A and B are shown apart, each in its own frame.
Chain A
Amino acid sequence: MRGRKVITRRDFLRGTAYTAFTVALGPSLSGEAKAEEKVKVVLIRDENVTDPQGQINQRILQRMLDQGVCQLLGVENPVQAWKQLIRPNDIVGIKSNGWFNLPTPRELEEAIQQRIMDVGVPKKNIGIDDRGVLNHPIFKSSTALINVRPLRTHHWSGVGGCIKNYVMFVSTPWLYHSDACSPLASIWGKAIVKGKTRLNILSLIRTQFYNRGAHHFDRRFVSEYKGLLIGQDPVALDAVGARLLQLQRTTHFGEDRPLDNPPTHIFAADEKYKLGVSDLRRIEVVKLGWMENSLI
Chain B
Amino acid sequence: MRVSLFLLLVIGVVLVTTEFPALSAEKDGRKAEMKRLLPLKVEDYKTDGKDEFYDRQTTFRYMDGAAELYRSYAFKLLLVRRYLKSGHPSLLVELFDMGSSEDAFGIFSYQTEEEEVGIGQGSDYGGGLLRFWKGNYFANIFAERETPATRKDILTLGEAIAKNIKKKGSKPKLIQFLPEEGLSQGTIRYFHLHQVLNHHYFISHDNILNLGARTNAIFATYPFSGEKSKTFLLLIQYPDQKQSEKTFKSFVKAYIPEADSSVAIRIENNKWTKAQLHKQYVIVVFDAPDNGKTEELIKITQTHLERRRP
Given contacts A13-B269, A156-B68, contact A6 B206 (CB under 8 A): yes
| In contact, A258 and B202 (Cβ under 8 angstroms) | yes
SS class, residues of chain A in contact with chain B: loop
Given contacts A99-B65, A261-B198, contact A218 B127 (CB under 8 A): yes
Q: How distant is the Cα of A35 from the Cα of B204 in the complex, in angstroms?
A: 31
- Which residues of A have CB within 8 Å of B131? 214
Q: Is B254 an interface residue (CB 8 A)?
A: yes
Q: Is A249 an interface residue (CB 8 A)?
A: no
| In contact, A156 and B65 (Cβ under 8 angstroms) | yes
Q: Chain A: residues with CB nearer than 8 A to chain B?
A: 1, 6-10, 12-14, 99, 131, 154-156, 160, 173-174, 177, 179-180, 212-216, 218-220, 258, 260-262, 264
Q: For the complex, count residues of B whose C-beta is within 8 A of A.
A: 34
Closest to B94 in A: A214
Q: How distant is the Cα of A9 from the Cα of B234 in the complex, in angstroms?
A: 15
Which B residues, 103 to 154, have Cβ-Cβ distances below 8 Å to chain A? 111, 113, 127, 129, 131, 140, 142
| In contact, B205 and A7 (Cβ under 8 angstroms) | yes
Q: How distant is the Cα of A8 from the Cα of B65 in the complex, in angstroms?
A: 25
Closest to B63 in A: A215
| In contact, A6 and B204 (Cβ under 8 angstroms) | yes
Q: How distant is the Cα of A8 from the Cα of B268 in the complex, in angstroms?
A: 12
Top 7 nearest A-B pairs (CB, nearest first) are A13-B268, A214-B140, A8-B204, A260-B199, A156-B68, A215-B66, A218-B127
B108 smallest CB distance to A (angstroms): 12
Given A174-B67, A214-B94; 18 other pairs, CB 8 A cutoff: A8-B204, A8-B208, A13-B267, A99-B65, A154-B65, A155-B65, A155-B69, A155-B199, A156-B65, A156-B195, A177-B68, A212-B111, A212-B113, A213-B129, A214-B142, A216-B69, A218-B129, A260-B199
Given contacts A156-B68, A214-B94, contact A9 B111 (CB under 8 A): no
Closest to B269 in A: A13
Query: 7 A-B residue contacts at CB 8 Å?
Result: A8-B204, A8-B208, A8-B255, A9-B202, A213-B127, A214-B66, A214-B140
Q: How distant is the Cα of A160 from the Cα of B66 in the complex, in angstroms?
A: 12
Q: Is B51 an interface residue (CB 8 A)?
A: no
- Which residues of B have CB within 8 Å of A99? 64-65
